[in-house]
Structure 1
Amino acid sequence: MDAIDDIRSNIVLRRIIERLERGDVSGAIDAMHLDQAAFRPLEEAIRQAFNGGGVAAVEQIPTLRDPNGHQIVIRWDARNLAAEEWLREHSTTLVSNIIADQQSAIRTALSEGLARGDNPTRTALGIVGRVNRVTGKRDGGILGLTAQQAAYVDRARQELLSGDPTAIRNFLERTRRDKRFDRTVLKALKDGKPLPAEAVDRITSKYADGLLKLRADTIALHETFQSMAAAKDIAFRQQIEKGTLQAQHVTKTWRHTPQKHPREDHVEMQGQVVRFDQPFVAPDGTRIMYPHAEGTPARHTLGCKCLAEYKIDFVARLVT
């Protein structure tokens, strides 16, 4: 949310409008300055979650002793090569994908607006949002939304402007709409009149804000679980590389977290135990090194709250 606010606050609307008046869609997108640096707050939040996960994982490892009975000092090393590489590649890939999706959504919205002959100013404001006179910040717009969410906003706008009762009723089925405007929409239905453009702007602006909050929450949940899960796995891997532990003495157990709408595959995986260096196997055949592992298909990660529980076989370790 901070990153999107920063992008919005640095936009010079006049430059975007000038480019749209020339039909220069690429130039209009460039004028929005959607670059990697704008998402530093997101990268920093991921770094903190990652390091927090590594520290927590190390703290949960029981006391280990060498053959002479001396306690072995165990620390989380955030500067470890594997840790730094995971954090760098993960953050870069995430932000790059967000920017690419943003540019795709904005390009589609701008191109469709020009094709319809929409006013360049209205088209630009539909992208970057309008300045709220109370807060001084821009509200609404499709900045920060996925391409699919941006399409939802566009369809919602067309529904409300259409004057078609069926289309307007369809808007009232949208779960992320701001219900405070329902009375206005219902009145237009009752009177059999289309909603004024200004009212549609306000309604779709709040609808877009609701979708942006959903996107932010989705990213926050997913990135928190993924960062902490990766840190936990890397923390144990660090001890194995140092010789403090051996992979054959560590096991992983899949722990499913109860949810309102659980994945049946993950419910079935509850209690599955594998060696540290082996993957879990989902009922559909997907091999997963640990919940939220990089490269795992989205059907097994988005919204998932499962965890891996790591255990050390102290008896086998002592015998060895």
Structure 2
Amino acid sequence: MARRPTRAQLRRQIRAIIDEFDPQAQAAFMDSVNEITSGIALAALVEALRARDVEAAVRALNIDGAAFTPLRRALEQAYYAGGAGTVAAMPTLRTVSGQQIALRFDVAFPRAEHRIRDLAGGFITRMTEEMRGLARTVIADGYALGRGPNTIAYDLAGRINRATGRRSGGILGLSGPQYEYVRTMREALANGPGIFRRPNGDPVFWIKRDGTLGTTLTRRDHRFDGTIIKAIREGKPVPADMVSRITGRYSDRLLLTRAEVVARTEVGEAVMASKREAFIQGLEKTGYTEQAVTRRWKHSGRRGKHARDQHIAMNNVEVKGLSEPYTLPDGTRMMHPLDSSLGAGPDQIVSCACDEEILLDFSEGVT
């Protein structure tokens, strides 16, 4: 009987692969967003905004899935590394008749190619659609607030940073909720940070007992806190040019957060999917059936506000074979942690750090 691999060793190796490709995917996401913002036809954008032609304005942004090629490549590399790493950690495999086999992860196998194409392509499609939708929201908000065409254009595209030569401070690349944070900050600063309140009556900014600035907008650039505190004490709005600087820096920081979340989530799903594909290829080559496989959900061990009760409940839950999905307490079905192929939403997959043990019993399922 083949010696089993150390389960903890394989889990550590998979986590190391995810950690290795996280920074690459983050940088690729930022490069992709920069590719889009640097390709904006600014003059055409302003002209369309002046004519109040929203769709022409969106077209002038030149949002194209091809801009995300760097991220696609990073996910493909992570997928291959996950599959190859899984195979490397497997025991010596033998066929039902006892013949030793050499298993190599075949990333060119049609099923494997189709899976990573779906993973990367699906994300890119969702991302470009989201960017166009958010652009329409920003334009509508700009018109409603009486902002001029040039101002709305810079809200979308950002301004050229002389130090980097790249555009910064725009909203393209942010999620919908992140844009709402930026809008909340802008409205509060422009209307008096100590006066403007959220719909529930809570202030956006306040001065704490120790004299420091209080706010839930924690990703702000703290170098501007003194300016905001001064405005609160004077009961005045922050000057318009300073509002643009403060919100622009806040937007940049939120974009970095988005890159981190996207990388952790998309790389994680790619690696977990390739781990599953590696085991499928192993079974197909040995001649054993899926009855030789038991899969076990392993919770990351997180506790506190970042823990998901659903995933804690799934810890050590087992399913048989490689085709049976896990069913979470709320009815969500997933083939493995981070899997979105069966319709799991962001609430189940974003930044998830759970793993899956795949156990092989060579005394069962012999064909």
Please, what TM-score do these two structures have when normalized by structure 2? 0.82
- Matched with 2:356 is 308
User: Of the candidates 66, 87, 102, which is equivalent to residue 131 of structure 2?
Assistant: 102
Residue 99 of structure 1: CA displacement?
Answer: 0.9
> How many aligned residue pairs are there?
319
Cα deviation 1:45-68 (Å, max 9, x = unaligned)? 111111111111111221012366
- Matched with 2:180 is 151
Q: Does 1:271 align with 2:316?
A: yes
How many percent of aligned residue pairs carry the same amino acid?
38
User: Of the candidates 285, 299, 310, which is equivalent to residue 347 of structure 2?
Assistant: 299
Distance 1:157 1:313 in 2: 60
- Matched with 2:40 is 11
Residue 114 of structure 1: CA displacement?
Answer: 2.4
User: Of the candidates 122, 143, 147, which is equivalent to residue 118 of structure 1?
Assistant: 147
* Residues 1:206 and 1:164: Cα distance change in structure 2 (over 3 Å): closer
Secondary structure at the residue paired with 2:297? strand
- Matched with 1:22 is 51
Distance 2:70 2:94 in 1: 40
Show structure 1 runs of 5+ residues with no match.
none
User: Of the candidates 261, 269, 272, which is equivalent to residue 229 of structure 1?
Assistant: 272
Q: Does 1:217 align with 2:246?
A: no
Q: Please give the residue correspondences for 1:17-96 in structure 2 after superposition, counting only pairs within 5 Å.
A: 17-66=46-95, 69-96=98-125
The one-letter amino acid paired with 1:18 is E
Residue 278 of structure 1: CA displacement?
Answer: 2.5
Cα deviation 1:119-168 (Å, max 9, x = unaligned)? 21111011110111222221111010122222221221111101252327
Q: Please give the residue correspondences for 1:229-248 in structure 2 after superposition, counting only pairs within 5 Å.
A: 229-248=272-291
Q: Does 1:287 align with 2:322?
A: no
Distance 1:212 1:80 in 2: 36
* Residues 1:308 and 1:134: Cα distance change in structure 2 (over 3 Å): same
* Residues 1:248 and 1:36: Cα distance change in structure 2 (over 3 Å): same
Moved more, 137-146 or 234-243: 234-243
* Residues 1:314 and 1:127: Cα distance change in structure 2 (over 3 Å): same
Cα deviation 1:283-312 (Å, max 9, x = unaligned)? 334333221222223332122111111111
User: Of the candidates 220, 223, 240, which is equivalent to residue 180 of structure 1?
Assistant: 223
Q: Does 1:127 align with 2:156?
A: yes
Q: Does 1:199 align with 2:242?
A: yes
The answer (yes or no) to whether the contact 2:93–2:286 under 8 Å persists in 1 is no
Secondary structure at the residue paired with 1:314? coil
Residue 181 of structure 1: CA displacement?
Answer: 0.8
Distance 1:66 1:53 in 2: 24
Secondary structure at the residue paired with 1:55? helix
Distance 2:193 2:295 in 1: 57
Distance 1:269 1:186 in 2: 46
Distance 1:166 1:119 in 2: 25
Distance 1:18 1:287 in 2: 47
Secondary structure at the residue paired with 2:93? coil
The one-letter amino acid paired with 1:314 is F
- Matched with 2:6 is none
Cα deviation 1:48-104 (Å, max 9, x = unaligned)? 111111111111221012366442111111111111111112222211111111111
The one-letter amino acid paired with 1:288 is M
Residue 224 of structure 1: CA displacement?
Answer: 1.4
The answer (yes or no) to whether the contact 2:269–2:338 under 8 Å persists in 1 is yes
Q: Does 1:170 align with 2:199?
A: no
Secondary structure at the residue paired with 2:61? coil
Residue 245 of structure 1: CA displacement?
Answer: 3.0
Q: Does 1:250 align with 2:296?
A: no
* Residues 1:286 and 1:132: Cα distance change in structure 2 (over 3 Å): closer
Residue 246 of structure 1: CA displacement?
Answer: 1.7
Please, what TM-score do these two structures have when normalized by structure 1? 0.93
